[in-house]
Each structure stands twice: as structure tokens, then as C-alpha cells.
Structure 1
Amino acid sequence: MDVVVDEKILGSETEADISEWLVEEGSQVAEGQSLAELETSKVQVEVPAPMTGVVTFLAAEGDVIEPGAVIARIA
């Protein structure tokens, strides 16, 4: 399952930076666990895991992402 950063996560912002991954790539994560911190011009928000599984990153810390971006995959 793709981890998508949507407008609900970003609020009114149009883009954000991945400031930090909170888990290691390849690790087992639980549904709802925070995966990454995103930084917008106004706030920092966390991206939750949509399901339990093993995470693979598709974006790196420092990458600028927009709504709809897929930043990781969980299998």
C-alpha cells in the first residue's frame, strides 16, 4: 500500500519538506504509527502508517513534496 501525503495531512499548504523519517527503512511498522515528520511553512506534521507491514522509502529527507505524493510503500 502506498503512503500518500494528501491535503488532509498538509492542511492548507501546497508543499512540504520531509524533515525526518521516524522509522528505519525495511522496518516493521504498525497501522497508525508515525513514519515521517513533514515541515511546511507554518507547522510540522507527522505522516501515519495506513497499515501494518514493512516500509520502503520512495522519498528522502529534505525532499520537497506536494499533495498526492507517494513517499513510501508498505507491504
Structure 2
Amino acid sequence: MDVVVGQDILGSETEADVSEWLIEDGTQVTEGQALAELETSKVQVEVVAPTSGTITLVAAEGDVIEPGAVIARIA
């Protein structure tokens, strides 16, 4: 399952920076677990796991992402 940054997470912002991953690539995550912190020009928001499984990071810290971007995959 793709971890997608939706407009619901970014609010009115059109982009965000991946400021910090809170987990490591290849680790087991559980549904609802905080995965990353994104920073917009207004706020810092957390992205949580939509499901449980092993995570593969797609975006790196410092990457600028837009709504709809896949930042990780959980299998």
C-alpha cells in the first residue's frame, strides 16, 4: 500500500518538506503509527501509517513533495 500525502494532510498548502522520518527503512510499522513529519510554510504535520507491514521509504528527508505524492510503501 502506498503512503500518499493527501490534500487533507497539507490543508491549503501546495507543498511540504519531509522534515524527518520517525522510522527507519525496512522496519515493521503498525497502523496509525507516526511515520514522518512534514513541514509546510504554516505548520508541521505528522503522517501516520494507513496499514501495518514493512515500510520502504520513497522520499528522503529534505525532499519537497506535493499533494498526491507517494512518500513510502508498506507491504
Query: Same fold, TM exceeding 0.5?
Result: yes
Matches within 5 A, 1:1-75: 1-75=1-75
The ranges of structure 1 where at least 4 consecutive aligned residues each deviate by more than 6 angstroms after the TM superposition are none
Q: Which blocks of at least 5 consecutive residues in structure 2 are unaligned? A: none
TM-score (norm 2): 0.99
Distance 2:34 2:67 in 1: 18
Separation in 1 of the partners of 2:45 and 2:61?
14
Give the unaligned 5+ runs of structure 1. Answer: none
Q: TM-score, normalised by structure 1?
A: 0.99
Displacement of 1:63: 0.1
Identity %: 79
- What's the C-alpha RMSD, in Å, of the aligned pairs? 0.3
